[in-house]
A and B are shown apart, each in its own frame.
With several copies, the nearest count.
Chain A
Amino acid sequence: MAEIIGGIGISHTPSMGMAFDAGMRDGFAPEWQPWYEGTRAVKGWLADARPDQIVVIYNDHLNHFEFDAYPTLAIGVSNSFRQADEGWGPRAFPDLPGDSDFGWFVTERLVHGGFDMTVCQDLAVDHGIYSWLPYLADTPWPAPILPIAVNMVRHPLPTSQRLWQLGNALGEAVRAYEPDQRIVVIATGGMSHQISGGRFGMANEGLDRFFLAHLQDDAARLLAIPQRELMRLGGTEAAELSIWFAMRAALSSTVREVHRFHTFPKITGCGVIVFEEPPVVTDAIAVGGR
């Protein structure tokens, strides 16, 4: 049976991707250097984890979906996912590989479990994934990716509680997958930031650090913060933090944080956290022989 090795929560921003490209070419700008260095250990962890599949819960920014049909939850089921052209041409990275067999398996479990997924056989992925992936892995990309896209552009947004439920169901689905595979679950969303209006550029480092500090053992405390309160304290786009709950809920209660980092390069709080599941034997006892 497949097992979940661990999970990662990480911010994304278009500038993070541009800073990477420029940094690899000319060296990193001083404000981005810490992020590059802070993510290096995560890259090492992911390499050691040797995942067979990577599930990524992210959000699109009107780069693939449009308002004519904007899904609350979408899942990409394909053997390949293009990079979205956000209007400046795609960056020099290959398509993401996918595994449609795994995708259909998870899709069936989710839909039959009451998640009303929009199922996408064609999906172009924007900076929601492409901005940070090059920090965490070299090409060719190390494993097939199963992208799950969450609406964060138009209210009503799915609630934090709903995303927690999604993570729970996702974890169960993945662990029911027959092949002996190692799965990593990644959630991505900017931490505090707001990119429009008079509060443009607001940055609440306290909120971000509070979130990172409690995600492992006191997620309930974070879940109790209304999404609107996240937006009030951290900017409208801080609502994306609720995506991280889907990753946390896919993991067991006995995960251990093995890495945490936060910095504020410019507009968006850039944080990353890595949780590792205890070895399977321990885990089987800890979660009651699941």
Chain B
Amino acid sequence: MRDPSFDMEEPGTFIFDGPRSTAGMRLNRFALSLKQPSNRATFLADPDAFMNRWDLTERERSLVEARDWTGLLAAGGHLQAILKLAATLGLNLYHIGAHNCGVDAHQMMHACPRRVVSDMPHG
């Protein structure tokens, strides 16, 4: 796992801006609906039917099915929304971060905080 750097490029950093928000509209509505316990149950019981209800595209569905957290973010999913999906599946923030970094969740958890030192004056 590479040390965090001081740049703002993907895949190191995803900026959630307007066009991304437009692209991820369906994904985020779907994922945020999982805040409701009843929706979590419905989704878990029949993921396909539930995803249909939210008009997810073929590609979005396969990203969900593959638990491709990085792909979901790249497709316009907002971390805070995608986190609800992870939680529904019994996973947490570290699983997403681990996938983003190409390690496993256990490694990720132990790597944090990933300290960086910038040329910022220390006051």
Among B13, B40, B111, B122, point to the contact of A209 (Cβ < 8 A).
B122
> A25 contacts the other chain (Cβ, under 8 Å)?
no
B35 touches A197 (CB 8 A): no
A233 touches B120 (CB 8 A): yes
A201 touches B111 (CB 8 A): yes
Task: Report the separation of the CA atoms of residues A88 and B101 in the bound assembly, to the nearest whole angstrom.
Answer: 26
Among A67, A210, A232, A267, point to the contact of B123 (Cβ < 8 A).
A210
> A40 contacts the other chain (Cβ, under 8 Å)?
no
Contacts known (A87-B87, A203-B116); A62 close to B22, Cβ less than 8 A: no
Task: Report the separation of the CA atoms of residues A235 and B96 in the bound assembly, to the nearest whole angstrom.
Answer: 16
B112 touches A236 (CB 8 A): no
| Selected interface stretch from A100-108, A174-182, A279-287 | A100-108
> A136 contacts the other chain (Cβ, under 8 Å)?
no
A198 touches B11 (CB 8 A): yes
The interface residues of chain A lying within 8 Å CB-to-CB of B37 are 89
1/0 per residue, CB under 8 A from B, across A150-170: the answer is 000111100000000000000
Task: Report the separation of the CA atoms of residues A206 and B116 in the bound assembly, to the nearest whole angstrom.
Answer: 8
Task: Report the separation of the CA atoms of residues A4 and B22 in the bound assembly, to the nearest whole angstrom.
Answer: 26
Among A108, A200, A206, point to the contact of B18 (Cβ < 8 A).
A108
Kindly provide the distance from the CB of A223 to the nearest chain B CB, expressed in whole angstroms. 15
Among A85, A100, A195, A206, point to the contact of B120 (Cβ < 8 A).
A206
Among B11, B13, B118, point to the contact of A236 (Cβ < 8 A).
B13
A104 touches B120 (CB 8 A): no
Among A89, A108, A201, point to the contact of B114 (Cβ < 8 A).
A201
Contacts known (A108-B18, A155-B18); A87 close to B78, Cβ less than 8 A: no
> A133 contacts the other chain (Cβ, under 8 Å)?
no
In this complex, the interface size class of chain A, counting residues with CB under 8 Å from chain B, is: 35 or more
A203 touches B114 (CB 8 A): yes
A228 touches B8 (CB 8 A): yes
> A202 contacts the other chain (Cβ, under 8 Å)?
yes
1/0 per residue, CB under 8 A from B, across A186-211: the answer is 00000000111111111111110110
Mark A residues whose CB is within 8 Å of B. 61-63, 66-68, 77-79, 85-89, 100-101, 103-104, 107-108, 119, 121, 153-156, 194-207, 209-210, 212-214, 228, 231-233, 235-236, 264, 266-267, 269
Mark B residues whose CB is within 8 Å of A. 2, 4-8, 10-19, 21-22, 25, 28-29, 32, 34-37, 40, 73, 78-81, 83-84, 87-88, 93, 96-98, 100-101, 108, 111-118, 120-123
A-B contact list, 27 entries, CB within 8 Å: A63-B35, A79-B22, A87-B40, A87-B84, A87-B88, A104-B17, A121-B25, A154-B78, A155-B16, A195-B79, A195-B96, A196-B97, A197-B10, A198-B4, A198-B100, A199-B13, A200-B97, A200-B100, A201-B112, A203-B113, A204-B118, A206-B120, A214-B123, A233-B118, A266-B113, A267-B112, A267-B113
10 A-B pairs closest in CB distance: A213-B123, A104-B18, A203-B113, A200-B97, A202-B4, A201-B112, A198-B12, A199-B4, A155-B17, A62-B80
